[in-house]
Amino acid sequence: MMLLALLWLTLLAFVVSAQNASVPNQALVIDPKSFSALKTVPPPSKSNLTTIFLPPGISEDEATSKPFHVYDDAFYDIIGDNPTLTVIASQGINPLYHEAVVWYPPTDEMFFVQNAGATASGTGLNKSNIIQKISLSQAAQYSTQRNASGHVNVTTVNANPTVVNANGGTNYRGQLLFTGEGQGNNTAPSLYVVNPQPPYNTTVLVNNYFGRQFNSLNDVSINPRNGDVYFTDTLYGYLQDFRPPPALPNQVYRFTPTTGAVTVVADGFDLPNGITFSPNGSYAYVTDTGAQYSFYGYNMTAPASIYRFTVEEDGTFSNRKLFTYATPGVPDGIHCDTNGNVYAGLNDGVQVWNPSGTLLGKIFLGTTSANFNFAGKGRMVICAETQLYYATLAAEGAVVASQMPPM
């Protein structure tokens, strides 16, 4: 009997050891049951929209030292056997690493933009933000380090003419497409096509809705099924004091390159923000960051949500559905991988859900990521305002951009 007990204990120890060995070095396993019923739930004044949540027994140091947080076993397939996270650039208080994270495969470079309208950057009304880029092959050289700030060159892209207060971006017909939030009364929010190679010449693609200025264009994505351009229009230029009061509803628009037509496909948002499509283009995901009114503070009961729409064969949206209410902060930039999992930037980093809206895991930064993007398979660049991260993982980003040649 004692021998059988010893054999059982030995087998149990082996199983536990094998399970622990399967957890990657930079991964932290979190059991949702550990916080489903807390001993004490803090009042709203202490735990709310702006509060980063740490499960019981997990310190902030532990959470950041093991940044790949596993909430569901399916997350292992996403991060792989040896995910890594590296800081590749830091910049004091200037939020240089903000949005419009776009991979350009021919040169293997990742483009991104400075925060437009942030007080610390001085951008918005008095000057536009800047577009920047890095070499991914250079970043990959430091993927085994946790902090390689200063070793990767961050290059300013001098688009000509300037993309005024750029925010969102995607690939478009062999070039790059950026949203510009506009500036003051006279520089209208626009969609800009930018040559990703010198001399970075720029062309305005869309800048009005039947002669009316948009409010403040935010994000843009291409539906892979029909090749049309979908973009969000919201209030952040006004809420950051560099655009006039809004004169249109906050809406999602569609631009059809073959006809030049601009149509509205969705409304009813507080502040529509990020937009992306499922791998086959059958679903659209739109984030609503209505709870965050920038210079005007927070409305804790407004949306911090992701909505899913069915994209009909004719390109219109239908069947609006709440995909998830996210926390902490608000879900900003959004992307999908090739398996249809949904990724969004929040106040604690990048969070990942399966197509049914179950949280699978996080790339935990302990700070805000407004946007990020895949660079094909196994690579990701994450913008975290004053820090820029390079991550390696197993997942592959969905191709949601038209790869047609330039018009």
- Percent of the chain beyond pLDDT 70? 93
Cα three-residue angle 140-145-150, rounded to 5 degrees: 75
Residue indicated by tokens 């200025």: 213
Q: Which helix (H) or strand (E) holds 309?
A: strand 305-311
Q: Which of 384, 381, 380 is nearest to 366 (CA)?
A: 384
Q: Are 270 and 302 in contact (CB under 8 A)?
A: yes
Q: Are 11 and 3 in contact (CB under 8 A)?
A: no
Q: pLDDT digit string (tens) for 152-186? A: 999 999 999 999 999 999 999 999 999 999 999 99
Q: pLDDT digit string (tens) for 66-110? A: 999 999 999 999 999 999 999 999 999 999 999 999 999 999 999
> Binning pLDDT at 50, 70 and 90, where does residue 2 land?
very low
User: Would the pLDDT of 33 be above 60?
Assistant: yes
Average pLDDT across the chain, whole number: 93
Specify the CATH superfamily of domain 52-403: TolB, C-terminal domain (2.120.10.30)
Would you kindly state where each structural domain of the chain is located, as residue ranges?
52-403
pLDDT score of 20: 44
User: Would the pLDDT of 8 be above 90?
Assistant: no
pLDDT score of 11: 41
- pTM of the complete model: 0.93
pLDDT score of 399: 78
CA distance linking residue 40 with residue 46, whole number of Å: 12
Q: pLDDT digit string (tens) for 35-46? A: 999 999 999 999
pLDDT score of 83: 98
Q: Which of 363, 357, 370, 285 is nearest to 326 (CA)?
A: 357
> Binning pLDDT at 50, 70 and 90, where does residue 14 land?
very low
pLDDT score of 237: 98
What are the b/e assignments for 342-371, b being 16+ CB within 10 Å?
bbbbbbbbbbbbbeeeebbbbbbbeebbbb
Once rounded to an integer, what is the mean pLDDT over residues 378-382? 98
Residue 237: both structure tokens together? 């230029």
pLDDT score of 121: 95
